[in-house]
């Protein structure tokens, strides 16, 4: 599928990074963007944005009045992603986390918390490295 040129630039910059294996699969990013469009999402949140590739995809599909929140603990990656955001104007490890893998443990804990949250509908998909979808219930 055709991508925004800014997304292509973000991808190229990310592939220069030694940890580029963390880049979200393009199929996963496209699925997320399509789902956001399908439900007319006006707010998104991404936990662990790396260089911002998927976050940027989300920012391109929410309305101008929308809100995109991205959480990243590594300042290096925030600094890589920031110029792209300004331009826009605005593996199974988690299922069975190793005792020494704090990131996977944190994701496992988050998924378990989401699973018991009665305010959302939850889906876990095996797309890319795994994808958790939480949709607010409107009751």
Supply the pLDDT for residue 92.
46
Domain of residue 41: give its range.
Answer: 1-90
Same domain, 50 and 80: yes
Using 70 as the pLDDT threshold, list the residues of the chain that sit under it. Answer: 1-7, 86-98, 125-130, 139
On whether both 78 and 98 belong to a single domain, the answer is no
Q: Read out DSSP for 69-121?
A: EEE-S-HHHHHHHHHHHHHHT---TTTS--TT-HHHHHHHHHHHHHHT-TTEE
**Separation between Cα atoms, residue 30 and residue 58, nearest integer Å:** 9
Residues 84 and 100 both lie in one domain: no
Which pLDDT score, from 0 to 100, does residue 6 have?
65
**3-state DSSP assignment of residue 123:** strand
Number of domains in the chain: 2
Q: What pLDDT does residue 70 have?
A: 86
- Retrieve residue 64's tokens: 């101008």
- Same domain? For 4 and 64 the reply is yes
φ, ψ of residue 10 in degrees (nearest 5): -60, -45
Contacts of 78 (CB under 8 A, 6+ apart): 72
Give me the numbers of helices (H) and strands (E) for the chain, helices first please. Answer: 5, 4
């Amino acid at each position: 599928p055709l991508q925004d040129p800014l997304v292509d630039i973000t991808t190229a910059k990310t592939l220069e990074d030694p940890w580029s294996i963390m880049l979200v699969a393009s199929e996963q990013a496209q699925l997320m963007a399509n789902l956001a469009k399908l439900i007319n999402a006006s707010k998104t949140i991404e936990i662990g944005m790396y260089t911002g590739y998927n976050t940027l995809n989300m920012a391109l599909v929410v309305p101008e009045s929308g809100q995109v929140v991205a959480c990243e603990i590594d300042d290096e990656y925030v600094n890589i992603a920031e110029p792209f955001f300004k331009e826009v104007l605005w593996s199974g490890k988690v299922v069975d986390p190793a005792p020494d893998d704090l990131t996977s443990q944190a994701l496992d804990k988050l998924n378990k918390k989401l699973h018991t949250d009665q305010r959302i509908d939850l889906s876990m998909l095996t797309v890319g490295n795994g994808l958790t979808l939480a949709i607010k219930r409107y009751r």
